[in-house]
Chain A
Amino acid sequence: MAVVDPLIELRDVNKHYGQLHVLQNVSLTVGRGEVVVVIGPSGSGKSTLCRTVNRLETIESGTITIDGQPLPAEGKGLAGLRADVGMVFQSFNLFAHRTVLANVSLAQIKVRGRKRDEADRRSRELLERVGLASQADKYPAQLSGGQQQRVAIARALAMDPKVMLFDEPTSALDPEMINEVLEVMQQLARDGMTMVVVTHEMGFARSAANRVVFMADGRIVEDRAPEEFFTNPRSERAKDFLSKILKH
């Protein structure tokens, strides 16, 4: 698909885990302001793909550029880039020894160099935005999964990222908490944030995505507008996948 103003570009990316070829010549372009949802069966490489974008996973060949800059190797440059790329994890990964407020403020202070009160003010704003202003002084373990994930989103947003990566953000949540997280993500999408979302939430893919990328066995099989993909998948693999998950 042609993309007007590319923010993330992956070209011919390859990666192995031992014998397993998890990413096979993967090329993907994400435009500024675009919401790209990556779906596919487990083991298809979609989480790995998401994690290569901020180099939590290294790649063996190919190129990744973000906002025109090639992904730097380990060091200062990489840290600087990661500060601009927000990431939300399946298991939330809130800092267990810090309060909610400190979780959101920590990197603002240490990485962005903001003053503590300035950082805390911004943190409270963001917590307000995800509906958790009243929980600021609690520890992560005192919150529900859905609340923790919303704090994690606020923590990533506090860095004012250019793009947000979501690695199965609702997969570890109870069904009734999934919606509160998806609503925050919907709002972000409406506000024009560039997002790459690995998920199993087809409803979210339909309503919020500009494009759906379907992965299987380490390859991108389809890359299309959501409505087209869900109503009329081209590949057998996608038809099979959709028939299995949409049956119930």
Chain B
Amino acid sequence: MDVLTDNFSLYAEGFLGTVQLTFFSSLLALALGFLMAAFRVAPVASLRAIGTTWVTVLRNTPLTLLFFAVLLGLPRFGLVLPFAVFAVIALGCYTSAFICEALRSGINTVPTGQGEAARSLGMNFGQTLSFVVLPQAFRTVIPPIGSTLIALAKNSAIAGAFSVTELLGTYKTLSELGYNIVWTFVWIAVGYLIITLSISALFNVLEKRYGVAR
């Protein structure tokens, strides 16, 4: 217990870091995932190719490798940003590939007749997707997107290895100060649980409100 009370501000700082990383990366992942899912079902072949490449590359790259590529690679092209921003980019892009596929599986659950009806009324691709298909797909993708964002919260720990302030990274300082390593990690785990259970709770509410009634 002493570990927590003695170092509360350190824990709090790390906790806040993880929350921020998770929050901003989630926003980026949802936006990019949405865009890529639209690309993957678009009637234009080149857009589909972009979407497929995006998913294939990012989903099959180990996240740590992606962090190296972003943090060490982008500065070589003259793009120098704070490490925390780089971490958000790496996490967001990586997770967007999974969000894209979850959304696409949801789109595939909507009967083709819905899209045909919309098109037969003169709606274009964007209107068909946003007014008819996605609202119905949304209801089935709530659970998998929740899982993906929980994974994102935990993946954010990798950012700690690149000197971004986040929850797991606090253990280094604490073990140097000589605190019991087991209790150090227990409190870190509690911190992650607070975040992941909050995401779970949020998605449970969403599912209750918008999910498909059975």
Contact = CB atoms under 8 A, between A and B. Distances in A.
Contact of B114 (A93, A110, A159): A93
A106 B119 CA distance: 12
Nearest to B110: A96
Contacts of A95: 114, 117-118, 132, 136
B123 A96 contact: no
Contact of A89 (B116, B122, B127): B116
Interface residues of B, number: 19
Interface stretch (A21-29, A61-69, A80-88): A80-88
Contacts of A93: 111, 113-114, 116-117
Contact of B113 (A85, A91, A107, A110): A91
A74 B119 CA distance: 11
B73 interface: no
Range class of the A interface residue count: 20 to 34
Given A95-B114, A111-B127, A159 B122 contact: yes
B43 A74 contact: yes
A156 interface: yes
Contacts of B132: 95, 106
B11 to A, nearest CB: 44
A143 interface: no
Interface in A139-193: 152, 155-156, 159
A100 interface: no
Contacts of B183: none
Given A96-B136, A97-B136, A107 B123 contact: yes
B60 interface: no
A106 B116 contact: no
A56 interface: yes
A239 B100 CA distance: 54
Given A93-B114, A96-B114, A110-B127, A82 B136 contact: no
Given A95-B132, A110-B131, A89 B121 contact: no
A215 interface: no
B73 to A, nearest CB: 38
B6 to A, nearest CB: 53
Interface string B125-158: 0010001100110010000000000000000000
Interface in B17-44: 43
Contacts of B61: none
B124 interface: yes
Q: Lowest 3 A-B CB distances belong to which pairs?
A: A83-B122, A107-B121, A93-B117
26 contacts: A54-B120, A56-B116, A76-B124, A79-B123, A80-B122, A81-B122, A82-B120, A82-B121, A84-B122, A89-B113, A89-B116, A89-B120, A91-B113, A93-B113, A93-B117, A94-B117, A95-B132, A95-B136, A106-B132, A107-B122, A111-B121, A111-B123, A155-B121, A156-B121, A159-B121, A159-B122
